[in-house]
Amino acid sequence: MVEEQSGSKSERASGQASEPIRSPVGTRDVLWPESERWETLVATFARRARLAGYGLLLTPVLEDVRLFRRGIGDESEVVGKEMYELTDRSGRALALRPEGTAPVVRAFVQHHPPVPWKVWYVTPAFRYERPQAGRYRQHHQVGVEALGTEDPGLDVEVISLAAGFYDELGLTRVDLSVNSMGCAEDRPKYVVALREYLNEHRDMLCDEHRESFGRNPLRVLDCKRPQCIAVTEKAPKMVDFLDEPCAAHLAQVREGLDALGIGHRLEPRLVRGLDYYTRTTFEFAALALESAQNAIGGGGRYDGLSEAIGGPPTPGIGFGIGIERLLLACDAEGCFAPEPSAPDVFVIDVTGGGVARDLCAQLRDAGLSAQRAYDNRSLNAQMKVADRTRARFAAIVGARELDEGTVTLRALHEGTETSVRREELIDRLRKEVGP
């Protein structure tokens, strides 16, 4: 993995022709074979999502900046401090998406598909954060969103989809915390009680929240600084303020998780960083990672988000999973390390390259993976490249094979060779490498 961390010269790059241009700070290139691991991860997620009835949704990386201001909230760090905003050449105020949920709800409002509307996505997300291991300015998420019902059974389905995905990758040390953020009826009462409590303890809060807790006291529950953590440990809890329908909803979600054997704990301070949440919130933490950056996925309900962006009242729930962090967690647990693929056959042509061109085209059309060397290199040089690819077979064509219309098929791991007629090569390889 090739990574730009922080403070590198590239941030100050002045356009001098001699200095190579690098990727922006906090962004990364993902090269093969690591990229093949990403491919497998996304394919695994896509398969699980499809099995549960979620269809792929693609939305633009650029959105009207008002979508995030209204949808996520100006007071949130993600919008207030981290969003990449730009004005295009026609003067439109746009933002690079900092997350995947608001765009999905915007698409729902715009296209009014029948409900329940269940979608999955894979997307880059942009946040101007201080880059460090597990925290980037462009990260990537796979996620789902499901709109149109408040049924707690949907909350359970969504959470179990994420849990099953972590399981399939082989992660075992994953902690699931669950909370309820209540609704428009009960939350205001809680916010008043929390504000009062924080006011009583304001001198003990971190510098930032001592000043700002009055505007949105819930943010303090999310603060990772030890001073705020110490204060909020004894703060009033949202779960104690839930009205009857919200309390019953949370109980049903927890019962459903228990019924499916999904271990979880109630975390009354889990508010998450985006202001659209109502009722169920949840977060998955990888215990094998440092606690500051160990959230490998999170989500919740956002029953007021559609209205907040001008749509019809429509409940919804979903989650986003950070791909980079998830892979760090897999590394830390030593799981999900799929072997990068190797070609079925490497065509070695020392007669000028025309045979390699034709054979590769035929083999690929027949569904076999075939590679070749270029630039008319020597037999030895081509064999070296073939070895590097870990191909199962080399199909070698020299002057003799060209005359006879054959290829020499060498099993590269065993070192055995046979002569095969060109027109029989595909059948022969199919038998050897399977369907």
Contacting residues toward ligand HAM, per CB under 6 A: 99-101, 127, 129, 134-136, 139, 141, 143, 145, 273-274, 295-300, 318-320, 322, 324-325
Rounded to whole angstroms, the Cα distance separating 275 from 425 reads 61
At closest approach, how far in Å is the CB of 230 from ligand HAM?
Answer: 24
| Nearest-CB residue for ligand HAM | 322
The b/e string for 317-344 (b: 16+ C-beta within 10 A; e otherwise) is bbbbbbbbbbbbbbebbeebeeeeeebb
Q: Which amino acid is at 122?
A: V
Rounded to whole angstroms, the Cα distance separating 386 from 384 reads 5
8 Å CB contact between 41 and 321:
no
At closest approach, how far in Å is the CB of 413 from ligand HAM?
Answer: 39
8 Å CB contact between 10 and 4:
yes
Tracing tokens 């995030």 back to the chain, one arrives at 68
At closest approach, how far in Å is the CB of 183 from ligand HAM?
Answer: 16
Q: Considering beta carbons, is residue 143 or 343 the nearer one to ligand HAM?
A: 143
Q: Considering beta carbons, is residue 152 or 299 the nearer one to ligand HAM?
A: 299
At closest approach, how far in Å is the CB of 323 from ligand HAM?
Answer: 8
Q: Considering beta carbons, is residue 73 or 299 the nearer one to ligand HAM?
A: 299
At closest approach, how far in Å is the CB of 382 from ligand HAM?
Answer: 42
Q: Considering beta carbons, is residue 23 or 389 the nearer one to ligand HAM?
A: 23
Rounded to whole angstroms, the Cα distance separating 226 from 173 reads 24
At closest approach, how far in Å is the CB of 136 from ligand HAM?
Answer: 4
CA distances from 121 to 104, 141, 281 (A): 9, 8, 20
Strand partners, 317: 146, 301
At closest approach, how far in Å is the CB of 248 from ligand HAM?
Answer: 22
Q: Exposure of 405 by Cβ count < 10 A (0-12 exposed, 13-18 middle, 19+ buried)? A: exposed
How long is the chain?
A: 435
Q: Considering beta carbons, is residue 236 or 300 the nearer one to ligand HAM?
A: 300
Return the structure tokens found at 347.
């065509």
8 Å CB contact between 417 and 405:
no
Query: Any residues with CB less than 8 A from the CB of 321 and at least 6 apart, and which?
Result: 45, 141, 142, 143, 162, 165, 284, 296, 297
At closest approach, how far in Å is the CB of 26 from ligand HAM?
Answer: 8
Q: Considering beta carbons, is residue 69 or 195 the nearer one to ligand HAM?
A: 69
Q: Considering beta carbons, is residue 100 or 256 the nearer one to ligand HAM?
A: 100
Q: Considering beta carbons, is residue 286 or 373 the nearer one to ligand HAM?
A: 286
